[in-house]
Chains A and B, each alone.
Chain A
């Protein structure tokens, strides 16, 4: 068994063993999807096309939320505690090396995203979701969104104490859940807040995922916003990351 494969398996095993992380990556997205599909309280009318059900708007939003929950919050909390427990430092004295450790982490995020999709998509289909798949733009959006949120997560994990990372990653998740356009349409927000929200990676990702499942490429503005975040946050994370525990 190679070092990379062993590291990837370990990352996955620990993620799936952690019940808080499962609640965040699967429990909350599934819950939101089912609840708001069945209970019609969200003002989704502006986003609904002819013949659309609420689930047609909700399913892509919740899939985008799932990406954020794993790539940002899940990755930040796990990596933050690995750093504070000295795991990253300890692995630094093995032949594993940073490139393979990073590759294993990325691989684990991708596999968890696949698991999230494998759970959320059938649930959404059962609730009457009727997507028109546009595969390439959708994949592009997922890759950019994962990079942007993973960059944010690693930025926190690599610079802050684990307890602060835990609080901030969860707090940001909650703020972006409300402002990110995942379930609540941005059009419902007051104007200055809406414009702020439009510049966030969350709303750009939601727009593009929704477009990808609606058979279109999505607005250029969203691609630009998400691409900038996807380049910026990993760069900052790489430049600021501290491997040893905070003192």
Chain B
């Protein structure tokens, strides 16, 4: 037994980990969050856009204090086909409801802010440490091992991202197959605020989220407007590398140079080049979510949903962090952290929009595989109108 034991250790300082840390510390639990980067956000990136509702529940009006980029007021879906492009635009400037808002974000800044909030609540954050393994005794997870150091806890939350090496070591998460995950690669391009406003027909503080399909058989494109930069990138199902002779970096270059994108980013300057994996395997990909002394949240739990007209990941991560925290708090009351005690986590996820979104993505995946979604932007547009963006 070591001299120091925490109520909860969270591995990973991304959105689900930080949310859990925030809520557990708020309720007075001794919480340790361990992040391998030098700060939260150092190892994270997004396309990307955050749907605000799940964080709004935890930190009301968070967007006023958090470093969000622009509030998305225009959704565009484009289908490109041999030099022609059809674009459908949904303009929501008339709507002003914080629960329904979404924002373009930059994770290097946003996660750092959320980490500060968690620390203010009393969570202990240690950055710059890579957790290599878990302490498991008689089938129960009792803590973490980093290098030659061990730290014990009643429960460990694995929020260690899409690859979740720890989830795999534990045997909860299967090897990811190439048709379950997309690689997203992005360039962050600096562009003057006013130029962005002019080119996209928006005011300062307002933003555009734009998805492109048809630009290629193997990848899709995206573009998000940030405060004074634009995120441009492509996503490709890893499996699709077998269907092309092209390379991923070249795909991004081709997309940037395509006749519809190039004028939008004319005169911009590259600030950062990033890449990440996006779980897209639907419900089948979700690992065993809990066990004796352990829970898995966020991308590690493959809680992502590609709904065709939008991708949901960050808001689902935050919600899963919240539900994990609730499960830990309930277990703490009974001082019991067994599989039974923590099963509350899975039950609450299943009754939550998180799971219905992930299941919704299964429909989209099937449609994509069958070729339904491509070539029919009006169908997608109809879905967009029918379903609320919250889901």
> Do A and B actually bind?
no
A residues at B contact (CB < 8 Å) = none
Residues of B near any A CB (own CB < 8 A): none
